[in-house]
Amino acid sequence: MTFAAIVVAAGSGSRAGGDKQWRRLGGKPVVRWSVEAMLDSGADQVVVVVAPGSQDRAADALAGLTHWSAIVGGAERSDSVQAGLRALTGAKDQVVLIHDAARPLLSAEVIGRLRAALTGADGAIAALPVSDTLKRGSDRIEATVDRAGLWRAQTPQAFRADRLLAAYAAWPDGTAPTDDAAVVERDGGTVRLVPGDPRLMKLTYPEDFDMAEALIPRQTRVGSGFDAHRWGPGDTVWLCGVAIPHDQTLIGHSDADAGLHALTDALLGAMGDGDIGDHFPPTDPQWKGAPSDLFLIHAVERLHARGGRLVNVDVTLICERPKVKPHRQAMRERLAEILGLPLDAVSVKATTTEAMGFTGRGEGLAAQALATIELPA
């Protein structure tokens, strides 16, 4: 048996700095996390309730997903839920999970527990037992409240659609319930408590986003890159984003900064995202003489778009000349600036090949690089 879901994304989210449901978390819009979780657990339809004028934003945020629709909600959350219920297609007594988009880290386990708990009950909600000692008061304590039997209500909350609509019809005008369970409770229904999930935290304040980012499972990945360019006539060589006066230059389509090219490939490699030639074809005249920091910035932007972050990079330049050591600190500082990394996460090393091979004979310079990243798993 399948189920339907209503994801409420109609709030203004003013406490979180506005429009939190459309902000990106782990590289995805907040609302997309919940819709994907519902679809992955077998929801046959997801109705996303949005504020007037936000349907295009929903289409952008949910691009590529199927079995969802966006409708416009009402002034109160309860109006939005009822609009969502009326928009459902299919059996009137189907199971529906009502969920707030502001709780993105929804697991299949919680969805499964709610669906299972609905047998023989009118509703079931995800909730956590209160573990802190509770105090009542304003600026000083008036009472210590017994926390035994107290729960923090989360969403999703599960009901049969017709039962919830009937309960809403019986709810008195002029007041707004704080959740859907309260509506069924007041109508005499039985609502079960099932274990929620601390990760189902509600994004309320701007700082909540940092906490939620930290809760997203990530995998560590490593990528490597290698590049070489030939020496030719010139008076300056670019290495790791730094111009070094020299009696030769490296020949290439761009500024031939082999250090930045190797590092760009290391980043793309860690993401499984092709190589520098795929993103910046040497046949494209717009990259002629281009400063290579453009390539590296592009790779970093692609990493951020996927919700990833850089951990550290390590570049080795292989040449007999110029001497790299006097420029190493400037190179590290420039790379740290481009990559947004602390200096101790950026390494630039140099070696000769003891006069062996093409670098040893002074025909060219080579660079190799490693990049460690973390991507949402």
| Structure tokens belonging to residue 277 | 């030639």
Q: Which residue is nearest to Mg ion (CB)?
A: 261
How far is Cα 75 from Cα 50, in angstroms, rounded to an integer?
Answer: 11
Query: Taking the CA of residue 234 as centre, how many other CA atoms within 13 Å lie in the half-sphere pointing to its CB?
Result: 17
| Structure tokens belonging to residue 112 | 């499964």
Q: Which is nearer to Mg ion, 177 or 364 (CB)?
A: 364
Q: Taking CB under 5 A as the rule, does residue 280 contact Mg ion?
A: no
User: Least distance to Mg ion from the beta carbon of 317, Å?
Assistant: 13
Considering only residues 209 to 268 of the shown chain, the ones binding Mg ion according to CB under 5 A are 227, 261
Binding string, residues 166-185; x marks residues near Mg ion by CB under 5 A: --------------------
User: Least distance to Mg ion from the beta carbon of 261, Å?
Assistant: 4
Q: Which is nearer to Mg ion, 24 or 279 (CB)?
A: 279
Please say whether the dihedral angle defined by the alpha carbons of residues 182, 186, 187 and 193, taken in this order, is positive or negative: positive
Do 237 and 249 contact (CB within 8 A), yes or no? yes
Please give the angle made by the CA atoms of 229, 338 and 225, to the nearest 5 degrees: 40
Q: Which is nearer to Mg ion, 184 or 318 (CB)?
A: 318
| Structure tokens belonging to residue 11 | 């709030």
Considering only residues 90 to 129 of the shown chain, the ones binding Mg ion according to CB under 5 A are none
The site for Mg ion, by CB under 5 A, has a size of 2
User: Least distance to Mg ion from the beta carbon of 227, Å?
Assistant: 4
Question: Could you tell me the maximum CA-CA distance found in the chain, to the nearest angstrom?
Answer: 88
Do 284 and 253 contact (CB within 8 A), yes or no? no
User: Least distance to Mg ion from the beta carbon of 298, Å?
Assistant: 14
Q: Which is nearer to Mg ion, 128 or 290 (CB)?
A: 290
Q: Which is nearer to Mg ion, 179 or 227 (CB)?
A: 227
Q: Which is nearer to Mg ion, 102 or 276 (CB)?
A: 276
User: Least distance to Mg ion from the beta carbon of 304, Å?
Assistant: 23
Sole residue written with tokens 């030939």: 230
User: Least distance to Mg ion from the beta carbon of 252, Å?
Assistant: 5
Buried b (16+ CB within 10 A) or exposed e, 330-353: bbbbbbbebbebeeebbbbebeee
For binding to Mg ion (CB under 5 A), which residues are involved?
227, 261
